[in-house]
Structure 1
Amino acid sequence: MNAAILSTGDELIIGKTLDTNAYWLINQLTNLNVNVVCQIDVGDVKSEIRWGLESAISHAELVVMTGGLGPTDDDLTRFVLAEMLGVELLLHEPSLRQIENFFAARNRPMNERNRVQAMIPQGAEVLDNPNGTAPGIKVSIGQCAIFCLPGVPREMKGMFDLYVKPWVLERTPQTHFFRKLHCIGIGESDLVHKIDDLVREHRSKVIFGTTANEGIISIGLAGKDKSALDALERAIQLRLGNIIFGCDDQTLPECVGALLRQRRQTLATAESCTGGLLGKILTDPPGASDYYLGGFVCYSNTLKHNLLSVPEELLITHGAVSDPAAQAMARGALMKTNADWALSVTGIAGPTGETAEKPVGLVYIGLAGKNGTQQVREFRFGSPGREVVRFRAAISALDMLRHAMSD
């Protein structure tokens, strides 16, 4: 089956917003053995949207379209569909009630403009949206099925799983198999060198590739022969061991959370340069309250002393960005919260604040445990930018804890 992705929105074509929806959709459809032949971005202009739809339909049996279902004047998807089908827009009463209930549940009045979101081309299938006000629309033009989904990523992803994925699975046999293995603590070139002989042994039956994303290296495997793919996966896991932290859609925070939950243990954090980012990614997975007690964001030395009992003499002698400071912060968080584990992060994210002895990218990560564990590691992330240094520090802290729990 061939598919096309069509994204609408002026913000996409003037470079103000990255089309992450299309990237996600292409990945999902490829994993379902669908051949994505094109991805088109168009502005909020009727003629451009119609051109995009006609182009997509001419190349594919499935079109997944995102955006243009909102209540404002530049949300034009429903109007273009009606014109192309030669039908009227009709008020869909169940959708209107659902929109009204959405606002009532939030104790907010519904603006009259939102009524247009319940206007559906005559004969189209309405796709309920459990996470927002904009229902989706499914129509057929010739031999092509068109799914129109909201542009809000969370809403779009939920509706893809509810409607598009089952539709595809009914029509597409699984002829290709895919697997991803996520690694941390090793460079991409070193990783490839480490498993090169295994990859060459299976090259005739399994496609191999790697992608790097700020310290996390993902190995991609694909092929028609599931037994060959499984054999290579097992061999790579045996060779790399604990370098691999998860597979497919698993994230590092999810994997660390699963280990904590399995061990019935808790975690607290003490952050300086990451400014709460470590706590944020720890609580991205639902159910994080099972193991994450909370954290301290202590940017100033005063708060490090007052909240975490870091000795003032230590901060004067060694500085806040130091091995002793990271150690004291982790111990302080452990004592204040009575958690089983505590992580601390202190460093220089940049672009300012460096000295000759302490450059931008220098980070100390501390780990303390009720079992007596006390570790501090020094990291030098260089100057890739403030955001990157902070992210690399946060995931490195999680990886330290993962190794401590796995040893």
Structure 2
Amino acid sequence: MPSDSINTVVLHADYARVFSYFDDWFDAFLQCPGFQVTPVNVVDRNASKRLQRVIRNVELIVVLHSVLGDTVKYLDRVASVLQNRRGRLFVFVGNEVNLPGIPIHAKRALLKRLSPEFIATQLPLEAGQFLFGDITSARLLEVPHALNPSVYVPGKKYKERAIDIGSRAARYLPHLGDEDRNKIQDYFSHYGASRFGFKVDLSNKRMTRGGWAAFLQQCRGTVSTEAGSWYLERDDHTVEAIRQWAKQRPSGALTLSADSFFVSLIEAMPSIPRRILRAVKKTGLVQHELVAAGKLSFAEVYERFFKDYEKPHFYGKCVSSRHFDAVGSKTCQIMFPGKFNGIFVADKHYIALERDYSNISDVIERFTDIDYWQQMVDEAYESVMDQHTYSHRLQRLHGMLTLERPH
């Protein structure tokens, strides 16, 4: 082991194969020579005992997005072991938005218990400071996603790609007070073929990392927006108000709360009982809260809960892993203008579409200009390969952690 290599335990949650950046971050740590990694899958029932064994003499413990992004339950199971650690604790938070059943306040409470030395936010630093700046044990770092160039590689030339506009993206719930992602997806779903003659393949169906990479390589373009929301709260009070309001509305089905004991019990069941319960859900008699939430009218929710809500002074949106995936595939991105953590520049790295679609003719003209398309995807690719791969991210983290090594 090189003298500057950091003996590291990496906590990950291997429970889903459809979030490619979970795999990308995990692989990045395994492959980086600056970190001597012992992985611990916190989903395993014996994770706490295994962690207790391997944590004794390590210098660094890393908690990846997969552990804390969608739930606190996995990290909570091993919290007592982490509280007795000797090494430094570095936590990637993940999903730094207010969502039903995935509350920011629960993540904050757990982080305060753990007192990490470092917290990594995907958000611009000012927004991260708002959410986690009062956790005084921690140094807050802005660490956005990046490109995995071994998975997301350039696809075919423009004319050889079979799909004009393609994407796979979960729809935003109205609880975010933000419908940018849904709007741009819906616009091209409705008008891509009929108005512009495009072959369009847009859906919210998730793919494995390999499937998503292969799909992007077949697409000339994709449509996307920044991740995150215009509104952020430490205590989730607006989301909780929406949840309570939604419970009073007739739905015709038994709705299971996202954070209920019954849902947790279902998730812990073996696969056969889970399949039976999924069949019951298909009858329409029972539904998960997040399914019901997706049926709410954005306009109604916005009018009731966000119309008079003053946006915070900080910028709460950020670059997403899917933006880097597209760049690696040399797939042109059409997106609403944004800051993208200062990484992507409008009309240099992506084609900027105004939110009122007032420049749509110009956008389509540039997108279908093969020379313009090639220049844009090449420039975006070169920029990312120069400084925004996962290897770059980990080299910088390693340099910082080595410089600040306890003596």
More strand by share: 1
Same fold (TM over 0.5): no
- Structure with greater contact order relative to length (CA < 8 Å, sep ≥ 6): 2
Larger Rg: 1
Normalised by the size of structure 1, how large is the TM-score?
Answer: 0.30
